[in-house]
Amino acid sequence: KLDSGSDFKPQPKLIAVSNTITFANPKAPVYPCLAQGKSWNE
């Protein structure tokens, strides 16, 4: 799990993309939510 957090930290683009996905796919906000959650939790 720690590896995932490290992966998101040096790649802010992934977080931005996740945000876009949230707006584009409101039916599946779980994926971007998890990505952001891990990033912020770290």
Containing domain of residue 8, as a range?
Answer: 2-41
Mean pLDDT of all residues in 2-30: 59
Mean pLDDT of all residues in 4-29: 59
pLDDT score recorded for residue 5: 56
Residue 1 pLDDT class (50, 70, 90 cuts): very low
Write out the DSSP string of the chain.
Answer: -HHHHHHHTT-HHHHHHHHHHHHH-TT--HHHHHHHHHHHH-
Total domain count for the chain?
1
pTM assigned to the model: 0.20
> CB–CB of 38/8 below 8 Å?
yes
